[in-house]
Structure 1
Amino acid sequence: MKTTKKIFAAVLAVMMIALMIPFSASAATSDAYNAFIKGKNGFTVNVYKVAKIDTTTGEYTEIQGGTAVETALKTWKNASGNDSKALLEACENTTFADSKGDHTFASDEDVYNFGTNEAGVYYVKVTGQPAETSVKKKGGALFALPEGTKTTQGSAEAPIELKINTGAVEVSKEIVGGDIDTKSTTASAGDTVTFKLTASVTGSKEVPLTEYTIHDNLSGSFDTPAVTEVKVDNTKLSTSDYTVDASSQSDIKISLSESYLKAAKEGTNDFYASSDVTVTLTAVLKDTAVSGNTATDNSNSDSLTYTNVYGQTEKSGETVYVYTFDLPVFKYDGTTDNKTGLGNATFELKTKEGTLIDTKTTDSSGNVTFAKLAAGTYKVKETVAPAGYNLNSSEYTVVISTTGVITVTVDGNSSTVNQVEVPDYPVTVPSTGGMGTMMFYVGGAALIACAGVLLFVLKRKKAAK
């Protein structure tokens, strides 16, 4: 019996020890030190251990980051508060290999509770940012665990706040001098269209850029693109301040030069104190452009890419549209019910002021088209009639609206049409026995009558004698 009791007691003891193991492990892994950190929505931070703190002597050991960090750390030890500009700058310029924790903030109110059992000096580095965000100032913070007798830095209610100043990056594209609005215009083939591309200034001297490029995505409906001006706010840049890569018309790159960005970092130009970069670009509408006013015709867009310590960010811009229209002219025989088309009739197209634009001749079906015209008022007139037909002397005033509607006015009458229709009538030649012969008969009879009257008068005079 005693043996059984001993065995039971031994088994119970083993079970109790086994049950205690998880609790002991749990206690061993509970965090001795904590720090509460607040950032901004979408930003990611990593926490790096800069140095170990000897909790008995308060000395720093196992310092990471080299001489610059070590020197700054000695100054920081005697500073009040958690911020030390020198140490923050030294840490910012150091690559730490071993992250002790990371967190991506789910909102501006999100608080990250960093826990550790390792006493030390810690640096919080902003390592990621949401896309399409302009970072004017980087975050970053320092804290010691423990600090004196404090084992916790900050609290959920009053956390350590990272200094992250942001602003939205905006990219836009406009048409300068358009006849509709800033987002659309009409143009004729051969016309030069002027575009203005605008993008926000992003970055700062604390978060400098290594690349800033505005992209113009010019469609195949244009040729001869040219960058005529680049400005930062109201300051026009010299050609040494930027480069233009037009090797691909669908992605024309206007980039701030390396020297200009270096000067911005050093504060010798006003780039980071500015609001916008604007690029003025011109291009010529080709005669192969698509006619009509649908939203996809001859469209053009822009975008922005910029690179900093967080990597490259791309921001899409806006799309603008250029419309062009065709003006069909139909020449027909005015004596036919079915409007039989007449070839070889020549027409002139002029501006409303009378400047000649083009001269074209109808095909065998009587059709001719003045293609790729901007909205406006034009004059159409026949200058050479088909053989055997009289020339139509009327001048047709044509108005093309910005939506492509054609209105024609001739001899005081106006109508909305799909094409300008111009009738001609055959030349009439007098036939034998017609009015031409009758005129000779009438003239001859008149002469005979006059001769009879004269003869009668002469005979009366002779009888009177």
Structure 2
Amino acid sequence: MKKFWAILLAMMLVLSMVTVASASEVTEGDTPTATGFTITVNPKDDVDHEYQVYQIFTADVVADESGAKVLTSVKWGANAKNDTAAVTTGDPVPDAVLEALKTVSGTNQEKLAEITKYWNAESAPVDTFSSTKAAPGKSQKLTPGYYLVRDNQAKLEGKDGAATLLIVKVLDQDIVATAKSEKPSVDKQVQDEVADAEKNGGEVNPEGWGESADHALFENFKFRLVATIPVNADYNDYPTYKLVFNDTMSKGITFVQIDSVKVNGIALKGTDYVCTATPGQKGAGKVGENQDKPSWTLTIEDLKKVMKENTSILVTDKITVEVVYTAYLNEEAQVFNASATSTNNKNSVDLEYSNNPNADGMGKTPEDHVWLFTYVVNNTKYANTAEAGKELAGAGFTLYDQNDRVVPLWKDADGNYVVAGTTKPNDTYTDVANNEMITEANGTFNIIGLDHGTYTLKETTVPATYNPLDPVTITISADHKEAAGGASATMELTAASTMNNKLVNKSGATLPETGGIGTTIFYVLGGMMFVGAALILIVRRKAEADEI
């Protein structure tokens, strides 16, 4: 019988996302009995795991010259093979195999490649047990020997968890292994003007990035996707590492272009990734509509290969992959005239990532969301008083921004004025002559797709017999933010906002003119004065004649 302690030391390793418990964490068992001992795995993520136990070798437990307990009389286990050759369970393991295992060294992947020569992965495991962070599971009683424990990849596919593959020896005590919880994460952000950006706990990102923003229709702005991958021994176990950003834009968002893809701040070449988005592509749908499929994906097939080829990328304790792209709110975006507790302009991302260094497998993070708002200002023109029946048609108004620049406009099929972009979304949108809005018969002219800010409305065509209106200040002031938990967003218009405006023109005063009553009065007064003067003259002459 050969002592096996040297081989056991060589094979004492942990592969992928797992550490074996230290001596202080191991629950001591009794002396070996026919009932054997257990293997417990403590997951640290929020995924339900199913662990499969494979018996590679069995052996007896004895004490060596120093009193240390080792395995001897090593035999093939129920899940063993000899490289490509089948073996008989219970037969002695050849000396050549034991000698080969003594030389196992290198990385975990290199060790695993050697050890799995003796593991029949197609055979049925000797035990299967479930385990969660809340309720760690353990195997049935196992006889002393060498065992391989792995996650059932089928249970992990598409979930936010990493696979475990470890080799443990079972001597005369129960074994406890703790699965590591480090895994990739992803965050989506949207950029706003700094002056009206989201206030997160009173703080504003110096570049305007946040979980919510407001913009004018057809105004270009940027989204940012940030994946963070921990760098540790577990990451190093992966021969290749794949990342897939699944980006879901709402129906009211139109994609323009990818601006940059960076790893730890260094820009990648266009050949380092594959993006399925096309310029002018609209999102998949409104909230709850077609959200099961991403609008587009960006894939880095092998992050490790890309980083190896780009020597400028420095690696620390984490890898950050940042994707920035330009988009705009289109004509199908939801617009707001009042405070709101939700928005259909919801946009999301999740990240698929390699989660098994020992086989093909992809995990997936939960979705992360951002939220967009844009506004509509309703205006009605009245004659003399703001009341029903006094609506005034034919008045013309021009809108100016806070820099006194004319706001360009289109007119839609419903007669609304829409903040214009570079290209009309369809042929139902028409140009607006001189960007002047003309009131309809009902006196209305509504302006759709305005951003947060202060505007000035000037009357540039005044209806006949009415006096011009003084310039009107329009204010859109909103506080928007992601709600606690990240599943929704709120937008509150402040008291300063003027979203519904009643504009009143006063009739002009009537001034004197030729042929009017004004001249008649002068004629009458003049005639009376002439008659009076004549009477005075006659009286004087008569008095003089009497004196003679």
TM-score if structure 1 supplies the norm length? 0.71
Distance 1:272 1:64, change over 3 A: farther
Deviation at 1:383, TM superposition (A): 0.9
Task: Report the counterpart of residue 280 of structure 1 in structure 2.
Answer: 324
Task: Report the counterpart of residue 380 of structure 1 in structure 2.
Answer: 457
Q: 2: distance between equivalents of 1:433 and 1:264? A: 91
Task: Report the counterpart of residue 510 of structure 2 in structure 1.
Answer: 428
Distance 1:75 1:434, change over 3 A: farther
Asked if the contact 1:201/1:272 (under 8 Å) is kept, the reply is no
* Alpha-carbon displacement from aligned partner over 1:150-185 (angstroms, at most 9, x marks no partner): xx52523xx2536x4322543322222352412222
Task: Report the counterpart of residue 438 of structure 1 in structure 2.
Answer: 521
Q: Please, what is the CA RMSD of the aligned residues? A: 4.6
Deviation at 1:333, TM superposition (A): 1.2
Task: Report the counterpart of residue 201 of structure 2 in structure 1.
Answer: none
1:328 corresponds to which letter in structure 2? N
Q: SS at the partner of 1:140?
A: strand
Q: SS at the partner of 1:278?
A: strand
Pick from 122, 125, 131 the counterpart of residue 147 of structure 2.
Answer: 122
Q: 1: distance between equivalents of 2:402 and 2:295? A: 37
Does residue 46 (structure 1) correspond to residue 52 (structure 2)? The answer is yes
* Alpha-carbon displacement from aligned partner over 1:22-74 (angstroms, at most 9, x marks no partner): xxxxxxxx974734323222443322233566999946568516169999943
Q: 2: distance between equivalents of 1:262 and 1:70? A: 40
Task: Report the counterpart of residue 342 of structure 1 in structure 2.
Answer: 392
Pick from 145, 154, 172 the counterpart of residue 187 of structure 2.
Answer: 172
Deviation at 1:318, TM superposition (A): 2.4
Matches within 5 A, 1:58-457: 58=73, 64=81, 66=83, 73-75=97-99, 78=102, 87-91=111-115, 96-98=121-123, 99-107=125-133, 110=136, 112-116=138-142, 121-128=146-153, 133=160, 135=162, 138-143=164-169, 153-156=171-174, 159=175, 161=177, 164-178=179-193, 179-181=196-198, 182-201=210-229, 204-207=235-238, 211-246=242-277, 249-250=283-284, 251-262=294-305, 274-292=318-336, 293-294=339-340, 295-308=342-355, 309=359, 311-334=361-384, 338=388, 340-357=390-407, 358-386=435-463, 388-402=464-478, 403-404=492-493, 407=496, 418-426=500-508, 428=510, 430=512, 432-439=515-522
Q: 2: distance between equivalents of 1:422 and 1:312? A: 64
> Which is higher, the Rg of structure 1 or of structure 2?
1
Asked which structure has the greater RCO (Cα within 8 Å, sep 6+), the reply is 2
Deviation at 1:421, TM superposition (A): 1.6
Deviation at 1:315, TM superposition (A): 1.8
Deviation at 1:428, TM superposition (A): 3.2
Q: 1: distance between equivalents of 2:82 and 2:534? A: 138
Distance 1:342 1:204, change over 3 A: same
Distance 1:284 1:113, change over 3 A: closer
User: How many corresponding residue pairs?
Assistant: 409
Distance 1:154 1:180, change over 3 A: farther
Deviation at 1:187, TM superposition (A): 1.4
Deviation at 1:272, TM superposition (A): 9.1
Asked if the contact 1:50/1:121 (under 8 Å) is kept, the reply is yes
Q: SS at the partner of 2:521?
A: helix
Q: 2: distance between equivalents of 1:276 and 1:180? A: 24
2:298 corresponds to which letter in structure 1? S
Q: SS at the partner of 1:167?
A: coil
Task: Report the counterpart of residue 25 of structure 1 in structure 2.
Answer: none
Q: SS at the partner of 1:185?
A: strand
Q: 2: distance between equivalents of 1:270 and 1:70? A: 47
- Point out the structure with the larger strand share: 1
Asked if the contact 1:125/1:139 (under 8 Å) is kept, the reply is yes
1:153 corresponds to which letter in structure 2? L
Q: 2: distance between equivalents of 1:122 and 1:266? A: 38
TM-score if structure 2 supplies the norm length? 0.62
Distance 1:200 1:259, change over 3 A: closer
Q: Identical aligned pairs, as a percentage?
A: 21
Q: 2: distance between equivalents of 1:370 and 1:200? A: 42
Distance 1:169 1:188, change over 3 A: same
Q: SS at the partner of 1:305?
A: strand
Q: 2: distance between equivalents of 1:97 and 1:351? A: 70
Structure 2 gap ranges (5+): 1-31, 62-70, 86-92, 199-209, 285-293, 408-434, 479-491, 538-548
* Alpha-carbon displacement from aligned partner over 1:187-224 (angstroms, at most 9, x marks no partner): 11121222222233267231456531112211111213
Task: Report the counterpart of residue 5 of structure 1 in structure 2.
Answer: none
- Point out the structure with the larger helix share: 1
Q: 2: distance between equivalents of 1:70 and 1:434? A: 131
Q: SS at the partner of 2:98?
A: helix
